[in-house]
Amino acid sequence: MSKLFPNASAALEGLLKDDILIASGGFGLCGIPERLLVAIRESGVKGLTFASNNAGIDNEGIGMLLRTQQVKKMISSYVGENKEFERQYLSGELEVEFSPQGTLAERMRAGGAGIPGFYTKTGVGTKVAEGKETKLFNGEEYILEHGIFADLSLVKAWKADETGNLMFRKTARNFNHPAATCGKVCVVEVEEIVPAGSMDPDCIHLPGVYVNRMILGAPYDKKIEFRTTRERAEA
C-alpha cells in the first residue's frame, strides 16, 4: 500500500480529533512540518497538547495554532520569540510543561523505544524537579522523567524514498528523529521523493518502518525566526 498522500489534509484524515497529544519535529522554524500544521489549523480540532522543542513564532509553526486557540498545553524546552505564547501563558489560557532540551529529546526517544521512564540529574534541585520522584544512584540524586507516547507524530524530512526511508538535512535533523518514533502514527512531509532502492542505506536517518503516511511539501520559502539588520557602511 502506498504511503504517499496527495496533500496534508488527506494525510491527516481520520487521525485528528480533539484533546490528542502530538509530537512535532523541528527547532524554531528549522525543519518544522509546515504543511501539516496548516492542515491541523484548517481542521478546527482543539484542546491539543504539543510536545515540541518550541512553539515557533507568532503565526508561524505551532504559533499559528496558538493564535486560533487550538492548543491547550505545550511540552517544550524553549518558548522565546512568541508573544502570543507569552500572553496565553501569563493569562492562564495555556498550560506549559517546561522540559530541559536534552531531557525532552530523551523523553521522545524513550517513548519510541517503549521505555516508560528514566532517571536523570538534569533539573535536580530546581523547579524542574518539583513533584517528581527522586532516587539515589551511587550517592547522587536523580529525578524520574517519563517517556512521551504521542497519539500522532508530525515530521519534516529533506528526502524520502517510496517506502518511507528518510533523510534529514543538516540541523533540521534536530527533534524530527525522536518525534517520529514516539507516536502511534507518523506523518511526514518531505521536499523530494525518490524511487525505492535509490538511497544509500548508510545515509538513511530514519527507517521507513516508522513512517505511516507522507506528502510532498515542496517548494518552501525560507522563513527567518529573528531578523537583525544594520545600515550599510558608506564606502
Cell reading at 71? 492548543
Q: Is residue 76 part of a domain?
A: yes
Contact between 17 and 45 under an 8 Å Cβ cutoff? The reply is yes
Residue 22 lies in a domain: yes
Beta carbons within 8 Å of 211's beta carbon, 6+ residues apart: 3, 155, 160, 164, 165, 166, 180, 186, 188
What was the pLDDT predicted at 229? 82
DSSP secondary structure of 166-224 = EE--GGGGTTHHHHHHSEEEEEEEEEEEE-TT-S-GGG-SB-GGG--EEEE----PPP-
Domain residues for 24? 8-117+148-216
Q: Residue 203 is placed in which grid cell?
A: 545515509
d(CA 37, CA 152): 12
In-domain check, residue 126 = no
Per-residue pLDDT of the chain (235 residues; tens, 9 = 90+): 699 999 999 999 999 999 999 999 998 888 999 999 999 999 999 999 999 998 988 888 999 999 999 999 999 998 777 889 999 999 999 999 999 999 999 999 999 999 999 999 999 999 999 999 999 999 999 999 999 999 999 999 999 999 999 999 998 899 999 999 999 999 999 999 999 999 999 999 999 999 999 999 877 777 777 778 888 777 6
CATH of residue 40's domain is 3.40.1080.10
Question: Which pLDDT value is given to residue 223?
Answer: 73
- Kindly give the pairing relationship between strand 150-161 and strand 166-167: antiparallel
Query: What is the number of structural domains in the chain?
Result: 1
**Inter-residue contact 231 to 23 (CB < 8 Å):** no
* Residue 29: per-residue pLDDT: 87
Residue 2 lies in a domain: no
What pLDDT is recorded for position 81?
76
Tens digits of per-residue pLDDT, 209-228?
Answer: 999 999 998 777 777 777 78
Residue 160 lies in a domain: yes
pLDDT of residue 1: 64
Residue 7 pLDDT: 96
> What is the distance of C-alpha 43 from the center of its chain?
19
Domain presence at residue 140: no
Within a domain: residue 232?
no
Q: In what order do the strands lie in the sheet with 140-146?
A: 117-120, 140-146, 134-137
208, part of any domain: yes
